[in-house]
Structure 1
Amino acid sequence: MRASSFLLLVGATAAAIPCAAPAQARGRQSAAVPATSALLVPDRVWDGVASAPHSGWAVLVTGNKIIAAGPRGQISVPAGATTIDLPGTTLMPGLIDAHSHVLLHPYNESSWNDQVLHESLALRTARAVNHLRATLMAGFTTLRDLGTEGAGYADVGLKEAVNQGIIPGPRMFVVTRAIVATGAYGPAGFASEYANDIPQGGQEASGLEQVAQVVRDQIKHGADWVKIYADYRWGPNGETEPTFTLDELKEAVDIASTSGRPVTMHATTAEGMRRAVLAGVTTIEHGDGGTPEVFKMMADRGICLVPTLAAGDAVMQYNGWRKGVDPDPPSIVA
């Protein structure tokens, strides 16, 4: 193994989603089987705090928890622990992806409409199993998966399969179907007489009563977080406009918070972001059209932005932009 190689503490980190998240067990361990310990001894350890890796450090892992990390001579190693030498490597904590969709193709690989309308739930779930394994092997030990995009509650089952050791994958925080305003999401563009029969990529709601019912329904089905689309491309000419009223968003946040669950909102316009902030969300996704005023509101309230910088690049590619050949679109340059 080359000196430039990196190893990540797959399955051993106790990382939490930034900006707080509900507690969730990574796996199941029988009380009758004592946890074993291993001392990992690489060339270097990067702890995610210092700007450079530490030479001469080691990491002690017991069961699925990191017990100690520091200079090898200062770590108290329990009797019977296994020492694993990792020459030529740098050891670092597992990574966190705070915005994923494991039940989708990569954005530059397949049409979103085709996936929602033409691919079976079984096919999408089988592909997601591969995505989870690949994500774990890439060093990501925690995922916040923000919507099944028409695949129902499959994310809950995938999370349970990982937790039970049936399939390999990162620990997951899931939102199930996500919540969209009636008529605001997709697939769209079909004959009006069939509009109500087209499967949607999110769970629709309209008005305070329906918003409350849908939030509670997703919690019932296993949501760890609640995700809401505060704006989307539903203007008269496809412009991105706010979807839910501020009162509707507040209703959703109030109910989710009562249950102990945080709320995240998709918002790409300044007004959608402003409403999300005033509603009391924990994180805002994307934020492409954010203004200094909106970002200050977020900072004052401790609301995190998850910018998803790679998503816009990938979407432009499957919409026809040839990266490295065509001029960069304004949204990419910005």
Structure 2
Amino acid sequence: YLISDLDIIQTFFRILTHHLHRFKCRFLILPKGRKIALTTIGVLTTGGAGLALMLQQSVKASDLELHPPSYPWSHNGLLSSLDHASIRRGYQVYKQVCSACHSMEYLAFRNLVGVSHTEAEVKTLAEEIEVVDGPDDTGEMFTRPGKLSDYFPKPYSNPEAARAANNGALPPDLSYIVSARHGGEDYVFSLLTGYCDPPAGVSVKEGLYYNPYFPGQAVGMAPPIYNEVLEYDDGTPATMSQVAKDVCTFLRWAAEPEHDQRKRMGLKILMGASILVPLVYYLKRHRWSVMKSRKIAYRPPK
């Protein structure tokens, strides 16, 4: 026979009422101190959940904001590694486009060795910059060519200079930007490729640019990339989507340089567990359980 939806709903509420009645009866027989403690925990939990919901609603952007879609990144698989050719191209994008405004103060030239460049190539890249060092034997500061241990140069000497050069907006450091933004590389990719004209009825202040993926939809950064914004050393066509994809892959590696090593370690653990788990199960089920459940009876001699 068929059970109607009404019967299912009535049965569900009947079971729920029964369990609530049992809980109420058990609660009433508890000592006074325990009742107060449980009530306090319930109030704090409910209040915390309500506060979290209010904060979530308050920081949620307006209806005009778009949430970034989930893109099929090649490194999202359980056993997939980062595209190191894309990391190399992404560094080129950062160097020629992004580094004019954004710093990466937690990344040193030596971090590129064995990942996207050879040691000789990285030494050449580092020597292209001038680093203020010192003091020397006479107590004076001096400049020298960069070396592997130096960190990426900052475009501005201090935050105030950065704000003054960008109409009051402070360009964020990109070292961990992928991990610091909800959506990760999906958000960064959508932001870079999402510039468009504002819809009818929406006005943007002078010096700002409309981007539906940015909270508030008005961003102080001009569209940084476009088709053929640069020429890749390996001859890859520098379309807007290709440039955005490469720099996002580079930023993912910068935020999580242990990405590939972590997945290799996980694969080793899975391979080891596939051997150890059956062995442990056999010992527990057929060896230890027999010893644990045996009964030793003492029979005194007559």
What is the TM-score when the length of structure 2 is the normalising length? 0.19
The higher radius of gyration belongs to: 2
What is the TM-score when the length of structure 1 is the normalising length? 0.18
Structure (1/2) with the larger helix percentage: 2
Tell which has more relative contact order, 1 or 2 (C-alpha 8 A, sep 6+). Answer: 2
